[in-house]
Amino acid sequence: MSETKNSSKKDAETLSKEKLKASKSYDAKDIQILEGLDAVRLRPGMYIGTTGLKGLHHLIWEIVDNSVDEAANGFCSRIIVTLHKNGSVTIEDNGRGIPVAIHPQKKVSAAEVVFTELHAGGKFNNENYAYSGGLHGVGASVVNALSRWLKLEICRDGKKYIQEYESKEDEHGKVKGGVPLYPLKEVGVSVSTGTSVTFMPDDRIFESIQFNPDTIKEHLEEIAFLNRGLEMIFVIEGETETDSKLYTFRYDGGVVDFVKYINESKNVLYPEPIYISGECDGIKVEIAMQHTDGYTESTFSYVNNIQTPDGGTHEFGFRSGLTRAISEVAKGSGGLKGKESDLLVGDDFREGLTTVILVKMKTVEFEGQTKAKLGNPQAKPAVESVVYKGLIDYFANKKTGKILSSVLEKAVSAAKAREASRKAKEIARQKNSIENSTLIGKLASCTGKNYANNEIFIVEGDSAGGSCKQARDRHFQAILPLRGKPLNVEKKRIDQVLQNEEFRTLISALGAGIGEDFDVDSIKYNKVIILADADQDGFHIRSILLTFFFRYMKPLITNGHVFIGLPPLYRISKKDKIEYVYSDAELPEATKRVGKGYKLQRYKGLGEMDKDQLWETTMDPAQRTLVQVTIEDAAEAEKMISTWMGDNVEKRKDYISEHSNFSRVDSLSEFMNKKK
């Protein structure tokens, strides 16, 4: 025992001396200075989050946000985004145009400063922009730094100016981003004003430089909803002019139209959304909301056009103002009596409620780097005040006051269901209920204790489950077979979900709770992989599971834990040559590569593959293909799930006829996926 202690002490002393010796070589020459935009290229993730598809599209958002800020402050009415056939993108607006005069400190044009200097812009005071989403001043320069080339065109003061930039290699092979090819120069006259930016993302930085047109289209439509009367135009260039596509979005109803759009496939309790607007302590508030016969609350909040998916103080203010106003009006009108009034809480008033909250304020404070949660404490009382006064006036109006009875009836029903849900959860928490009995004979757990490496495959049926259990690496891969099709939770309350044996099993296996009790930090597996057959039944199971995660475990998706496994559709073999094919579109080319005389096997299900084939094609991390399920646009995801999994038959039929292809990951899961 003493020998071990002395030995450890000696090792520690030796290590300390070695560190001290090494530290002596750490001096001034070891301090690196990253000039200009070098820091952006060295650590792009610090500025755009990731070099995957999300970061790629963020380049567009940065430039678009600058144009939107012009619109939000009354200087721009139209923004055009063009996706060129060569992969570059142009963002053009009819705003004031970036200033072109010589900057007093930098001695180059102000426009060049904006595109070559970090933390340079006109948004750090409130003189030029009262409300701005781009408060960090790094947008344009970061886009320039991460592009192969960029072209800037400015029209203002009756003149047109251009400047071009490139990322160039020096004599040592080091790439320097966003280098001006020449100073900003005047090239002609112009009767209009505005800014146009065209750029080509640098394929040396990004995993892929192929933009997703649907992602761009959905984002631009969202911006149009949030900026009443702003015209957003999206052009997708084709090989010929007739192949090109043009989309125009303009919503004069603003957030009211947004709520109508989200609720398009839902059954609403009253035809027109409730609209509230006002200003308190310099904070402008716009809110549209509408109750449906559904059971989940859907809130989409924004600050200066930036979405806040994690909520924040503005959402807290909305909820408290809503609860206080409806409770007060209901008691005064006699709509709630006795025990009914005592039973209701804020959650009951918001069951089935779709809400869009838009706040504009001069100084925005976000919690964390991702701008996902508003932190300004003054936003809560401001929003609460506007909501409270707005709802009091709304329900006092004879024309709209009758809506109160529908809202209260829904709330009372929600309170009863909440009590039933509480009892169901208590039963679920009892010893030997969910935690033990439902998992016996079902979950094949893994032995590894490292959460970061562990993953669970959710598979369809005992046959597939048996194959996966044989094929897996039990050190880090767990298998959970589902026996029978789970419940479609879209039209079910949480107490009904907890009565479904398959979901009770799944909740137990993940170990992180459900609904408002869900704690993503308690999840037992870093990857939750849905592995279903490539047919209609498999597609349906994927959709059901994704709907369940979206409604009752949303952080599982937003934190990047949910994946779709892609098993092959075909196996082509000829002697010792074997190819696996993952889609019908790939089959002709694959058969050509193998040559004549091949054998073709069509996999109807996972159970048809032997363990070696299943491991090699679907489960081996080194070779498999996983599709990560993310939600870039929560409002669009909400609408899509309501359409696909709701009870509006006509809307669902239209969607199926336009999008469905049961042989691959598509529809609901394809929409929610934005990254491979």
460 is catalytic: yes
For range 380-403, the mean pLDDT: 92
Are the CB atoms for 455 and 525 separated by under 8 Å? yes
- The C-alpha atoms of residue 133 and residue 367 are separated, in whole angstroms, by 15
Q: pLDDT tens for residues 432-472?
A: 344 454 565 588 999 998 889 999 999 988 888 888 999 99
Higher pLDDT, 10 or 104: 104
pLDDT at 66 over 60: yes
Q: Cβ of 420: how many Cβ atoms within 10 Å?
A: 15
Where do runs of H (alpha helix) occur along 472-535?
Answer: 494-497, 501-510
Q: pLDDT tens for residues 554-563?
A: 999 988 899 9
Are the CB atoms for 607 and 466 separated by under 8 Å? yes
For range 520-543, the mean pLDDT: 87
The sign of the CA dihedral 539, 543, 548, 554 is positive
Higher pLDDT, 128 or 585: 585
- The C-alpha atoms of residue 289 and residue 165 are separated, in whole angstroms, by 46
Buried-state track 309-340, b at ≥16 Cβ within 10 A, e below 16: bbbbbbbbbbbbbbbbbbbebbeeeebbeeee
Rg (CA), the chain: 29
Are the CB atoms for 201 and 146 separated by under 8 Å? yes
Of 533, 579, 632, 638, catalytic = 533
Predicted local distance difference test score (pLDDT) of residue 439: 62
Higher pLDDT, 481 or 398: 481
Are the CB atoms for 581 and 601 separated by under 8 Å? no
Q: pLDDT tens for residues 582-639?
A: 888 889 999 999 888 999 988 877 878 888 999 999 999 998 888 888 877 778 778 7
Of 237, 328, 367, 535, catalytic = 535
Of 93, 153, 460, 632, catalytic = 460
The pair of structure tokens assigned to 6 is 């002395």
Q: Cβ of 589: how many Cβ atoms within 10 Å?
A: 10
pLDDT at 278 over 80: yes
pLDDT at 27 over 50: no
Higher pLDDT, 233 or 294: 233
Please state, for a pLDDT cut of 70, what percent of the chain lies above it. Answer: 83
For range 155-170, the mean pLDDT: 94
- The C-alpha atoms of residue 532 and residue 565 are separated, in whole angstroms, by 8
Q: pLDDT tens for residues 466-491?
A: 889 999 999 999 999 987 777 888 87
Predicted local distance difference test score (pLDDT) of residue 156: 95
Task: Indicate the pLDDT class of residue 259, thresholds 50, 70 and 90.
Answer: very high
Q: Cβ of 25: how many Cβ atoms within 10 Å?
A: 8
For range 530-542, the mean pLDDT: 82
Where do runs of H (alpha helix) occur along 485-594?
Answer: 494-497, 501-510, 536-552, 554-558, 587-594
Predicted local distance difference test score (pLDDT) of residue 131: 62
- The C-alpha atoms of residue 375 and residue 366 are separated, in whole angstroms, by 5
- The C-alpha atoms of residue 510 and residue 531 are separated, in whole angstroms, by 16
The pair of structure tokens assigned to 118 is 């970090």
> 248 has which bridge partners?
233
Q: pLDDT tens for residues 69-96?
A: 899 888 999 999 999 999 999 999 999 9
- The C-alpha atoms of residue 229 and residue 183 are separated, in whole angstroms, by 36
Q: pLDDT tens for residues 212-256?
A: 999 999 999 999 999 999 999 999 999 888 889 999 999 999 999
- The C-alpha atoms of residue 338 and residue 348 are separated, in whole angstroms, by 17
Phi and psi of 57, rounded to 5°? -70, -25
H or E element in which residue 342 lies: helix 338-343
Task: Indicate the pLDDT class of residue 117, thresholds 50, 70 and 90.
Answer: confident
218 is catalytic: no
pLDDT at 53 over 70: yes
Query: 511 in helix, strand or coil?
Result: coil
537 is catalytic: yes
For range 168-180, the mean pLDDT: 86
Q: pLDDT tens for residues 129-139?
A: 666 665 433 58
Q: Cβ of 603: how many Cβ atoms within 10 Å?
A: 20
H or E element in which residue 651 lies: helix 649-659
Are the CB atoms for 352 and 296 separated by under 8 Å? yes
Q: Cβ of 199: how many Cβ atoms within 10 Å?
A: 24
pLDDT at 675 over 50: no
pTM: 0.76
Phi and psi of 129, rounded to 5°? -135, 110
- The C-alpha atoms of residue 51 and residue 218 are separated, in whole angstroms, by 21
Domains present along the chain, CATH in parentheses: 38-249 (3.30.565.10), 255-425 (3.30.230.10), 430-568+603-675 (3.40.50.670), 570-581+585-602 (no CATH)
The sign of the CA dihedral 277, 281, 284, 287 is negative
Are the CB atoms for 293 and 417 separated by under 8 Å? no
Strand-by-strand arrangement of the 599-602 sheet:
577-581, 570-574, 599-602
For range 45-49, the mean pLDDT: 84
- Dihedral of the CA atoms 504, 510, 511, 514 (nearest 10)? -60
Q: pLDDT tens for residues 181-207?
A: 999 999 999 999 999 999 999 999 999
- The C-alpha atoms of residue 563 and residue 530 are separated, in whole angstroms, by 6
Predicted local distance difference test score (pLDDT) of residue 539: 81
pLDDT at 515 over 50: yes
Average pLDDT, rounded, for the chain: 84
The pair of structure tokens assigned to 616 is 């090699």
Min mean pLDDT across 29-38, 244-253, 291-300 is at 29-38
